[in-house]
Amino acid sequence: MALRYAILTALLDEEHSGYDLARNFDHSLGFFWQASHQQIYRELKKLSEQRFVASHAVAQEGRPDRIVYSLTESGKAALDDWVMGADKLRVLEVRDEFFIKLYNLHNENLNHIQHSLDLRVECMRGRLALYEKIRERRYSQPEKLSLRRQGVYLSLMAGIMSSEVHLNWCEMALQLLRERSGKLENSKTGAENKQSGRAGAASPA
Amino acid sequence: MALRYAILTALLDEEHSGYDLARNFDHSLGFFWQASHQQIYRELKKLSEQRFVASHAVAQEGRPDRIVYSLTESGKAALDDWVMGADKLRVLEVRDEFFIKLYNLHNENLNHIQHSLDLRVECMRGRLALYEKIRERRYSQPEKLSLRRQGVYLSLMAGIMSSEVHLNWCEMALQLLRERSGKLENSKTGAENKQSGRAGAASPA
DNA sequence: CTCTTCATGTAAATCGTTACATGATTCG
DNA sequence: CGAATCATGTAACGATTTACATGAAGAG
């Protein structure tokens, strides 16, 4: 039930096509709610049938028409009702299978896990850079924003803060694991242990 | 596909009933992967048919039997294979409809949003207290743990760090909104300055 | 005597993912 | 020429949620 309200919210300020919405609704909303284009098209159809959004085609040369959706008055009202309704008691639900893998850490997969962490670092740096740019461009003086834009600002800040802390965590984790794989390396070359071949290849401390 | 591996992971150290798993698998895994009891029972049945887990009933007086599941060798092997497999490129996916509501902030729902934030603060404090207790009891000297338990420790730390930062964020948000509702109050009651008391209480960076 | 907890489960509905399809355009 | 991007969609499947159901125990 939240996806439909996420879509209505993304249409508050300007109209969008399904394609636009799918890529990332607005900019920072995508951090707290993700959806594939199939979900969005399906939901847009339903919202359209219920007259919560209105659509009109915009012709383009060569490309297929864009079908552009905008929020109707009743859509706006439904959204406001939902916002005032009771919250789900689910707070900050993270779903990330990497942590399941981390529970299974052992010598044979240590390198693999370290590699995943490296990728995460890259990913988080990119995300942070994007968010920081948005922040500088559009939210540099939060006190002066309208109340609604302060809400958006706060969401953005939540995205920035949790990305930062996750980046810090990744680096802490990598450090701890490097100490470990360093010791592994030592005890292997020292005692001449010939384990499964590619156990401690990369990153010596 | 991740739920099944979460279940197998939870069974690594000790056997559990479906009921136990449903309440929260292990302790901190629940932070990164949630599932209802219906999902878990269904998955356990499948895992049982595939011989990835074994089950036996444990009789109890009065209450219905507990059906206790444990990891089999082939279950362990399947889990290890999955861990070594390619990662989903989805990093730190948060799904929290509160932020959709926050995008819709305006005068009419300001109080409601503030109240939601208060509840979040409570929730985060409770979660943090639980995690810190686990940390003190079982992970006070992370360097000395086995590699696998270091993985669990790192997951726990990720839970602690993101809960902390979310708590900070809530307090920052409340402060910003209190300034706003203070001004609202002022312009409403006229010149009388009766702010809500603790506008500068919390600690942003 | 009702409410909550323990403990398991079925059924239906919705949500989300993966795969496939179309047809023109631009990039290399 | 092959691949990627723009832009929309269908179909099938898998995951998740919500509602319902049972039956005994213990708390208030």
In order, the DSSP letters of chain B are: -HHHHHHHHHTTTS-EEHHHHHH-STTTGGGT----HHHHHHHHHHHHHTTSEEEEEE--SSSPPEEEEEE-HHHHHHHHHHHHSPPPS--SEEE-THHHHHTT--GGGHHHHHHHHHHHHHHHHHHHHHHHHHHHHH-S-GGGS-HHHHHHHHHHHHHHHHHHHHHHHHHHHHHHHHHHHHHHHHHHHTT-----S-TT-S---
Q: Tell me, in Å, how far CA of A54 is from C1' of D8?
A: 17
User: Which nucleotide minimizes the distance between its C1' and the CA of B19?
Assistant: C7
Q: Is pLDDT above 50 for B151?
A: yes
Share of chain B above pLDDT 70, in %: 88
Instruction: Inform me whether the C-beta atom of residue B180 falls under 8 Å from chain A C-beta atoms.
Output: yes
Window 27-46 of A, Cβ < 8 Å to B: 29, 31-34
Q: Tell me, in Å, how far CA of A15 is from C1' of D8?
A: 17
Q: Is pLDDT above 80 for A193?
A: no
- Chain B hits for A179, CB-CB cut-off 8 Å, are 143
Core vs surface per residue B105-115: b (16+ CB within 10 A) or e: beeebbebbbe
Provide the pLDDT confidence category of residue B139 given band limits of 50, 70 and 90: very high
Hey, are the CB atoms on B103 and A2 less than 8 Å from each other?
no
**Average pLDDT estimate for A10-26:** 89
What pLDDT, on the 0 to 100 scale, is given for residue A189?
59
Question: % helix / strand / coil in chain A, to the nearest 5?
Answer: 60, 10, 30
Hey, are the CB atoms on B99 and A5 less than 8 Å from each other?
no
Q: Is pLDDT above 60 for A191?
A: no
**pLDDT per position as a tens digit, A100-117:** 999 999 999 999 999 999
What pLDDT, on the 0 to 100 scale, is given for residue A23?
86
What is the pTM for the complete model shown?
0.88
Q: Is pLDDT above 50 for A175?
A: yes
**pLDDT per position as a tens digit, A76-92:** 999 999 999 999 888 99
Q: Tell me, in Å, how far CA of B1 is from C1' of D15?
A: 9
Which of B79-88, B171-180, B194-203 shows the lowest mean pLDDT across its residues?
Answer: B194-203
What pLDDT, on the 0 to 100 scale, is given for residue A13?
92
Q: How many CA atoms lie within 13 A of A116 on its CB side?
A: 25
Hey, are the CB atoms on B108 and A158 less than 8 Å from each other?
no
What pLDDT, on the 0 to 100 scale, is given for residue B58?
86
Q: Is pLDDT above 70 for A197?
A: no
Instruction: Return d(Cα B66, Cα B44) in angstroms, integer.
Output: 14
What pLDDT, on the 0 to 100 scale, is given for residue B89?
82
Give the mean pLDDT of chain A: 88
User: Which nucleotide minimizes the distance between its C1' and the CA of B62?
Assistant: D24
What pLDDT, on the 0 to 100 scale, is given for residue A185?
66
Window 92-151 of B, Cβ < 8 Å to A: 92-110, 112-113, 116, 119-120, 123-124, 142-143, 147-148, 150-151
Give the mean pLDDT of chain B: 88
User: Which nucleotide minimizes the distance between its C1' and the CA of B39?
Assistant: D16
